Amino acid sequence: MTDLHDIRYVRVGTERLDESVEFATRILGLELVARDSHAAYLRGDDRDHNVCYVKGEGSGHAVGFEMKSSSLLDRVATELQNAGIAVHHGRAEECEQRRVRDMIRFTDPSGNRIELVARPDASGTRYFPSRDAGITSFSHVGMRTTDAATDEAFWTQRLGARVSDWIGDAALLRIDGVHHKIALFPSPVPGVQHINFQVAEVDDIMSSWYFLREQGVRIAFGPGRHATSGARFLYFYGPDGMIYEYSCGVRIFTPEEDRDHVPRQFPREPRSYCMWGSKPDIAEFKAPSACEAPQPQFANVG
C-alpha cells in the first residue's frame, strides 16, 4: 500500500505568467522565491515552493506529492506499472525544475497528472509573505474528476488515500490526519479545480474578504463554514479562472479517529458546502441543474 507523505506542490500552466505572479504575490499573499522566463515558483509556507506557474497552457496542471524516500518511490512505480499504469520517470532536468531528487508521473483515470517526488529541496529560510493574508501553509487541492467512482477507487486503492466524507459523489480524501488533502469534484473535464491555503484564524478570512472586494477580485464562495471539515472558508477567482481558497480550522483526525472514522455521506446541496448559508458561484459545488436532476416520476394518474 502506498503512503503519500504529504501534498507538495501544484504546477499550473498559464499563458499569463506575469499576471499570475502579480496576483499570487499582491493579492493571494504568496512569496515569490524564484522565476525565469519559463516558470515562477511561489510559496505560502517554509517549503521551497508550493505553486509553480509554467509558461504555456499546454503544460496543463499537475499535483505533486512527497514520498518518504526514493526507495518507496521506486516501489510505487513498480506497483503502478505492474497494474498496467504508464509511469514516466522524471529526467534530470524535470527533477531540477521541480526542485526534487526523484520524480515519477502518471495520471489518474480522469487524466489528472500526478507526480510523486522524493527528497524535495528543503529551505533554510522562512516564508516571508508579500501581503499579511495570515497564510500558514499550502494544504489541499480540489481536482476535477470525470468519473468519481473510478478516480476514488484509484486514489484509495492505488495511492492509499482514505475517504473522510462525501458530498454527493465528491470524495474528500485524507492521506494523513488532516481531513483532506485532495478532493475530487465531478466535472466534464479533469484538472485542478481549486488551490487551498490554510490561514491562522477567522480574522484572516474576514479581513481578506474586505481586501479582495476592495481590489475588485471576484468572490467565488463564502465567507462560510464547511459542514464536512468544519473549516471556515473564502474562495475567490484568480487569472485563468483558477479558484483559490483560504480556510482555517480544518478538522484534524487523531490516530484513533483516523483508524475508526466512518465517512459521512452529505447530499449535494448548498448546506453541505456551507453550514451558514453562503451560496457557491462555483460550477462543481452547485446543485445539479434541473436538466441534470432526476425528474420526479409521477404515477400515471387518471
Ligand X SMILES: O=C(O)c1cccc(O)c1O
Return residues touching ligand X (CB under 6 A).
Answer: 142, 172, 183, 194, 196, 226, 228-229, 231, 245, 247, 250, 273
> Closest CB to ligand X among 100 and 139?
139
Extended strands (E) in the chain = 6-14, 31-35, 39-43, 51-55, 61-66, 88-89, 100-107, 113-120, 135-145, 162-167, 170-174, 182-186, 191-199, 219-225, 232-237, 243-248, 264-266
Q: Which does 273 bind (CB under 5 to 8 A by kind): ligand X, Fe ion, none?
A: ligand X
CB of 142 to ligand X, least distance (A): 5
Q: Which residue in the set 110, 137, 196, 278 belongs to the binding site for Fe ion (CB under 5 A)?
A: 196
What letter represents residue 243's amino acid? Answer: I
Q: Which residue in the set 31, 115, 245, 284 belongs to the binding site for Fe ion (CB under 5 A)?
A: 245
> Closest CB to ligand X among 131 and 264?
264
The residues with which 31 forms a beta bridge, in sequence order, are: 43
Residue among 169, 118, 175 at smallest CA distance from 288: 169
Kindly tell me the sign of the dihedral angle through the C-alpha atoms of 212, 213, 217, 222: positive
Residues between 69 and 88 with contacts to Fe ion, criterion CB under 5 A: none
* C-alpha cell belonging to residue 211: 481586501
CB of 285 to Fe ion, least distance (A): 10
CB atoms within 10 A of CB 56: 12
> Closest CB to Fe ion among 2 and 196?
196
> Closest CB to ligand X among 158 and 226?
226
Q: Which does 45 bind (CB under 5 to 8 A by kind): Fe ion, ligand X, none?
A: none
Chain residues that interact with Fe ion, rule: CB under 5 A: 196, 245
